[in-house]
Structure 1
Amino acid sequence: MLSSPPPPREASVAAAAKPTAATASAWAELLRLPALFTVPGDALAGAAAAGLRPGPRTLLAVGSSLCLYEAGMALNDWADRAEDAAERPHRPIPSGRIRPAAALAAAGALTAAGLALAARAGRQGLAVAAPLAATVWAYDLALKHTPAGPAAMAAARGLDLLLGAAATGGTTGAALPSAALLATHTLAVTAVSREETRGGSPLPPLAALATTTLLTGLVTRPDAPRTAADRAVPNTPGPSDARTRSAAATALGALYAATAARPYFHAALNPSPPLVQRAVGGGIRATIPLQAALAVRAGATGAALLVTALAPLGRRFAKKVSIT
């Protein structure tokens, strides 16, 4: 009996590449890759709020934040695998593309990596990263579906900003106002996200819309108090520099409002799952201009520009992988 000829080498290579590409796509979906672009701005805004220039330890804080954020994404899908099987069977775990044990192992490894990077930045960084990691795990495993869920998520985002301040070498006290503003935004987004699979009441998107309006006013108001950067640097910028910063903060605040407010408004008019999901996505993307506005308010124009540049990258990746 004649044996069939072996397949061409090109076909074998292509067949081997397909599972690899599918696995990479599944992990990108599990980890919500586009949302990663909302993370570096936390550390940069935190360093700016402490009146410090970003440095190598700020980069360690960014790396720690990225690892802990992705640990939370993997752990979230592991904890919600039964719920997703009923409501979102296309997700990587219920669809069988990623094993639950692999997602849990990834969450543990990423948490360890995040804490190790924070430790490299110094004891101050680790002192903030440890409660941040604990908050992430507590949210995913215990608090997510309780009334404390949005507050826990808000606390995690605020701690992430403080991590940037602490790891860079500053005091977390100076960064608390910026952390509070970012946490308030996260609280509003998380409250809306609790209804993204089933839809529901218009109250959460209305509250998020009001919160966005309030935060926009706070980051764009012309009579902002003297920043931490002004107090830390002996040669405080003159009126011309202050006007430039104020104009940049106003522009970034307007971008923040434009990104978040419209989808919130639509979800309030019709709180159906597609519109609520769109509102959550808008709220997540709006994190970037808010971080940039906080950075420029603290005098870190360069850091604000760097954070703003992440927005189009996030939008580009969001076309391929869902951000929520």
Structure 2
Amino acid sequence: MAFAGQPAGAGPSEEGPRPARADGDPVASTAAGPAPAHASAPPPPRRPALGTPADWVELLRLPALFTVPGDALAGAAVAGRTPGTRTLLAIGSSLCLYQAGMALNDWADRAEDAVERPHRPLPSGRIAPGAALAAAGALTALGLALAARAGRPALTVAVPLAATVWAYDLGLKRNWAGPPVMAAARSLDLVLGAAASGGRVRDAVPSAAALGAHTLAVTAVSRRETQGGSTAVPLAALAVTSGVAYALTPPAVALRLPADRGGAAPLGPPGLTPAPVGVLRAALALGYAATVARPLAHAALNSSPPLTQKAVGGGIRAMIPLQAALSARAGAPLTALCTAALAPLARRFARKVSVT
């Protein structure tokens, strides 16, 4: 909703309401008589459109935020740490930087969206471009402040993460560097969780690479979501995400039950994932594959804009089971289950607000 103020002196005078011309413009009354027919009041000054809460929910694509906490949780898990206060600060920082990227994305794309997505909050005039840019700046500052509270290692990761987000939105997304830069941002987000939790950052690199590979594939598909017409890109993305799912699947021996009911050691070599965790890991890997593969296959068979957009949406939602599977692979089943619990919420709210 745009807030518009009244022009100075626009209210009724002491003598009563002013007469109006046939075209609806008020005629100024003076002691000498009515003003000339061509004289009219100046148009009311336009104030920036600040938007309603629903407009900001649409601008920031809030259902996509459910895919963010799992980055920091998985980062803590793969670093061998139990999530704590600093992990929560890292999650808060990630959420702020993610929302900053959403607001900045629409500000940078406002001319393009005026043609391809005129219903979006900025091209439709519901939110002023300046308000979106100010929100992006404020959210970035808040995200960095939260990372600083989590400690110097977290801030060391958050600064290049914020720089990557701004560089992507302000220009890099328009050329070949877009998907790799977005993949780097998502990988850094997982590393942020590891750094904030006090774990070794290098332990998070393999999981960050898996998350980055998924993000690279989905971002490449998203570049054609309004035009469609490409079958090779969804096919390539399907191959990449299938490889990620395969890497997440535990060996079959890890799914076996213990040798005897009284013992805790599973069958197989020492150090093998216990059977319950292996089953959970397999289930999450299967959930990830099912969420991302089907819409990508449809987009490869029919590269229309609606199916391409569904493939992008499925890829975004698949972040949650992917993060949960990474936590399970690291031996943190409770963290994995907490992350997986976000998936139904993301699916429910995505029906009301588009995540693409």
1:257 maps to a residue whose letter is A
State how far apart, in whole Å, the 1-side matches of 2:297 and 2:85 are: 41
Q: Which consecutive residues of structure 1, in runs of 5 or more, have no partner in the other structure? A: 4-19, 226-236
Task: Report the aligned-residue RMSD.
Answer: 2.0
Q: Hey, what does 2:129 align to over in structure 1?
A: 100
1:71 corresponds in structure 2 to 100
**Offset of 1:25 from its aligned partner?**
1.1
Which structure 2 residues correspond to residues 280-299 of structure 1 after superposition, within 5 A? 280-299=312-331
Query: For 1:139-150, what aligned pairs fall within 5 Å after superposition?
Result: 139-150=168-179
Q: Which has the larger radius of gyration?
A: 2
Residue 188 of structure 2 is matched in structure 1 by: 159
Shift of 1:238: 4.3
Shift of residue 239, structure 1, vs aligned partner: 3.0
- In structure 2, the partner of 1:127 is 156
Question: In the superposition, relative to structure 1, how do residues 120 and 224 fare at CA in structure 2: closer, same or farther (>3 Å)?
Answer: farther
How far is 1:222 from its partner? 1.2
Q: Distance in 1 between matches of 2:59 and 2:187?
A: 24
- Asked if the contact 2:50/2:128 (under 8 Å) is kept, the reply is no
Higher relative contact order (CA 8 A, sep 6+): 1
Indicate which of 222, 230, 241 corresponds to 1:212. 241
Q: Distance in 2 between the 1:299 and 1:321 partners?
A: 34
Please list every run of at least 4 consecutive aligned residues from structure 1 whose deviation after the TM superposition is greater than 6 angstroms.
none
Q: Which residue of 2 is the match for residue 239 of structure 1? A: 266
State the 1:221 CA deviation. 3.2
Matched with 1:192 is 221
Structure 2 residue aligned with 1:315: 347
| Match for residue 117 of structure 2 among 88, 99, 124 | 88
Q: CA deviation at 1:284?
A: 0.2
CA deviations on 1:170-206 (whole Å, 9 max, x unpaired) are 1110000000000000000000000001112101110
For the pair 1:258 / 2:287, whether they are aligned, the reply is no
Aligned counterparts of 1:57 and 1:210: Cα–Cα separation in 2: 36
Q: What do residues 240-261 of structure 1 show as CA deviations (whole Å, max 9, x unaligned)?
A: 7622211111100000011010
1:179 to 200, 203, 208: 208
Percent identical among aligned pairs is 69
Q: Distance in 1 between matches of 2:132 and 2:111?
A: 14
Give the Cα–Cα distance (whole angstroms) in 1 for the partners of residues 126 and 56 of structure 2: 9
Measure, in 2, the Cα distance between the counterparts of 1:72 and 1:95: 20
TM-score normalised by structure 2 residue count: 0.81
1:28 aligns with 2:57: yes
Q: TM-score, normalised by structure 1?
A: 0.88
1: CA distance between counterparts of 2:249 and 2:278?
A: 7
